[in-house]
Structure 1
């Protein structure tokens, strides 16, 4: 059995799978995967919020270009967006670290999807609240800031967590431009050993499953908490 499924390649390289060469070199493996996902998620939240608000602007000169940008990004594969950032950013800004190009690509791609979550959350708030707030003298943006967004964002949390789970899986495409995240590390180890591809890729599949299942469970817990608070 050991001949067909030898876990020694996992135990011997476990630290490399988890953090790459860190602290004696750049962070890699699971650590870099989570770093890419976390930074991209925070930036995507900000970007998605801005794009979502601008896409429902009352001014067509603002709304239509933003909607065109959102539909353009959503209509393209993430791999293409990564290649765009990989070749475009150095051309515009000089030498840019591969990690930053991937973060930018993930941010643009995920922001486009998060913007629709924001719009759905805002549209889920009864229109009467907007009308009541405006009748008290609040401006449109004051109403959005103080009345609509606080309620809408609470309803968006489970969807944001689900998008974060998707983002963790999307980081696996970063290996195509040489970023040393989990999939790239697994490929390096597989190319070095040339004997245990099944063990290596089954292991990283299990790691991705554990990460995604943990955040999916968090999403279900948040949905339950929000439903319980609404019931009260």
Structure 2
């Protein structure tokens, strides 16, 4: 009976509100981190004197920091620097910083997986480096990146739950509010949010599979 009561329409509707925040934060973070990661990965691959080395050094530092530490810094540390942000903005900034570094490495690896002759052939046909990268190398590299990018994006969706610690009103936080009113609802809440996370992540995998088949 507790299971049925826990899944009342009021509770499910409340969870869906949290799910929307999770999806909203995830989509913005995915879009921004992909763009920034694409740029950082390309810069690191390009071996531009000093700039590539500095970029690689910063990426390595961020990749080896706990995401939770970055979340704490954006929410509690930035106000000390005069920058005040709410939990949603802090979560997005933290996720974008962390995921951009992870995606930059995926991008660099994807570019390295493209045979060197592709770049040489493009340059011999009169393209400059950026043209060859944009029209020849990157389209091939992106196809090779799809599985790794999907895995990283799925991890990003799940990592949004860490922002509950700074009171991000996401799916997990809403579930905690529901079962805090009745501890018998704890297991039903965890089961339904597990299902919701699965649906979101599974949809991401379907999109990636479609893209891979369409452009592969």
> Would you call these one fold, judging by a TM-score over 0.5?
yes
CA 1:217–1:146: 2 relative to 1, 3 Å: closer
Matched, 1:134 2:123: yes
1:6 corresponds, among 3, 26, 51, to 3
Structure 1, unaligned stretches of length 5 or more? Answer: 20-28, 228-232
Q: Aligned to 1:59, what secondary structure does the other structure show?
A: coil
1:155 corresponds, among 132, 144, 154, to 144
1:169 corresponds, among 158, 168, 175, to 158
The Cα offsets for residues 93-134 of structure 1, whole Å up to 9 and x where unpaired, read as 432121011001100111111111111221122211211222
1:117 corresponds, among 95, 103, 106, to 106
Identify the residue that residue 211 of structure 2 maps to in structure 1. 222
Q: Note the 1:51-130 alignment, pairs <5 A.
A: 51-130=40-119
Matched, 1:47 2:36: yes
Q: What is the total number of aligned residue pairs between the two structures?
A: 215
Deviation, 1:226, is: 4.2
Alpha-carbon distance in 1 for matches of 2:46, 2:76? 33
Please tell me whether the aligned partners of residues 75 and 86 of structure 2 are also in contact (alpha carbons under 8 angstroms).
no
Structure 2, unaligned stretches of length 5 or more? Answer: none
Name the structure with the higher helix share. 2
Deviation, 1:182, is: 0.3
2:170 corresponds, among 144, 167, 181, to 181
1:206 corresponds, among 187, 195, 199, to 195
Alpha-carbon distance in 2 for matches of 1:37, 1:195? 30
Alpha-carbon distance in 2 for matches of 1:155, 1:89? 37
Instruction: Return structure 1 stretches of 4+ with deviation > 6 angstroms.
Output: none
Alpha-carbon distance in 2 for matches of 1:72, 1:7? 47
Alpha-carbon distance in 1 for matches of 2:150, 2:137? 20
RMSD: 1.7
Q: Aligned to 2:7, what secondary structure does the other structure show?
A: helix
Normalised by the length of structure 1, the TM-score is 0.85
Q: Aligned to 2:133, what secondary structure does the other structure show?
A: helix
